[in-house]
Amino acid sequence: MADAKVIPFDDDRSRGSAAQRPARRRSPGNRRTGTAPVREVQPLPDRASAQDDGQVNPERQHERHGRPQQAGQAPTGSGGGLERRLAGGLAFLRRRLTGDYEVDDFGYDAELTDQVLMSLLRPVYEKYFRVEVKGIENIPSEGGALLVANHSGTLPLDGLMMQVAVHDNHPAGRHLRLLAADLVFMLPVINELARKLGHTLACAEDAERLLGDGELVGVMPEGFKGIGKPFSERYKLQRFGRGGFVSTALRRGVPIVPCSIVGAEEIYPMIGNAKTLARVLGFPYFPITPTFPWLGPLGAVPLPTKWTIQFGEPIPTDGYPPEAAEDPMLMFNLTDQVREQIQHTLYKLLVQRRSVFF
């Protein structure tokens, strides 16, 4: 594998152009769309009791995933409910086999994400990491917004868990489109799954287009510096680059929503880095943890830590003039404001945390 590269998010040059991005595909016989199909969301009963202070109770999250019972229909556990599920599954398979489904220009497959990929991630989110979500109301119900989060955990599971948190808990049923490093799109299988989930290359061109289409876009500016830092530096934010994400938000006039994630740092405590082996394999780092590589594949199982994801108050950008995106001092100040808000929230959540695992 060639050496992994990290494309700076604020690099507007042609390296983020369509010629170098992963191939965009669409299903035969279907129109191309710039945004994912809108999913109708049923209101959650007694929502106020579950989110009095902006928190989402993980014990009740399963209520979002079931379909409401219609009058005259058999109960879900009866033969009628089984028949409906079977018919729905067969219809889904038929659409996949005949190509009767849509993907957008970036390869995002909303139907596959909703019905399959999220179903695979949800047990990890709800049962293994037991994610608690706070501040979900800070994410706009419509229009574009840039979600900026800390990055950690040796493997990028934090991005996936943040994606499930938005997908399952936002009252408008919104989807989060993550910006990923080019290494993700160099790996077989991972490449295809990432595009189906709505991920795209971390470049300003793609980010601006998604935001312009009214999408929620997620970015983790620490990149490999954050996810590959040693365990001794846990919850200490690394540099946020040159403020490219701020420039993109200013150009589109969308709010920036800081996001703080606690729990990911401990899933793979990185106590060493085999740099020579990493260079040979073309990876930015090769982690050594208390269990990996000593226990082989078993050592790759993450520790079952308790997670908290908090979305902070949005920082508006629509009040700045168009030329503000070219002001380096403004970008530096806004970048520092976002970084400080995330860091402060991390410290607050750590103080409130009873235990790493509970």
- Residue 82 confidence class, pLDDT cut points 50, 70, 90: confident
Average pLDDT over residues 299-313: 97
pLDDT tops 50 at residue 33: no
Average pLDDT over residues 280-296: 93
- Residue 55 confidence class, pLDDT cut points 50, 70, 90: low
Residue-averaged pLDDT of the chain: 83
pLDDT tops 60 at residue 294: yes
pLDDT reported for residue 9: 52
pLDDT reported for residue 85: 84
The whole-angstrom separation of Cα 205 and Cα 138 is 26
**Portion of the chain with pLDDT greater than 70, in percent:** 78
Neighbour-count burial of 209, counting CB atoms closer than 10 A to its CB (0-12 exposed, 13-18 middle, 19+ buried): middle
Average pLDDT over residues 304-330: 94
CATH number of 106-267+302-352: 3.40.1130.10
Average pLDDT over residues 136-147: 97
By mean pLDDT, which of 34-38, 80-84, 277-281 is the weakest? Answer: 34-38
The whole-angstrom separation of Cα 116 and Cα 358 is 29
Q: How far apart are the first and last CA of the chain?
A: 40
For the chain, give the longest Cα–Cα distance: 65
Average pLDDT over residues 113-127: 96
pLDDT reported for residue 241: 81
* H or E segment to which residue 56 belongs: strand 55-56
Strands 216-219 and 176-180, by their bridges, are parallel
pTM value is: 0.78
The torsion angle over the Cα atoms of residues 12, 249, 221 and 308, rounded to 10 degrees, is -160
**Portion of the chain with pLDDT greater than 90, in percent:** 69
pLDDT tops 70 at residue 353: yes
Dihedral class, residue 182 (left if φ above 0, else alpha if ψ from -120 to 50, else beta):
alpha
The whole-angstrom separation of Cα 247 and Cα 175 is 23
pLDDT tops 60 at residue 6: no
- Residue 12 confidence class, pLDDT cut points 50, 70, 90: very low
Average pLDDT over residues 155-182: 96
Cβ-based neighbours of 289, under 8 Å, separated by 6 or more: 154, 268, 269, 270, 271, 299
pLDDT tops 50 at residue 171: yes
Give the number of other CB atoms < 10 A from CB of residue 223: 22
pLDDT reported for residue 208: 95
- Residue 81 confidence class, pLDDT cut points 50, 70, 90: confident
Peptide bond into 293 cis (omega under 30): yes
The whole-angstrom separation of Cα 59 and Cα 342 is 26
pLDDT tops 70 at residue 267: yes
Closest CA to 281 of 358, 206, 187: 187
pLDDT tops 90 at residue 192: yes
Would you say 339 and 150 are in contact if contact means Cβ atoms under 8 Å apart? no
Closest CA to 342 of 245, 237, 272, 193: 237
pLDDT tops 90 at residue 89: no
Cβ-based neighbours of 169, under 8 Å, separated by 6 or more: 56, 61, 64, 133, 136
Closest CA to 180 of 137, 221, 130: 221
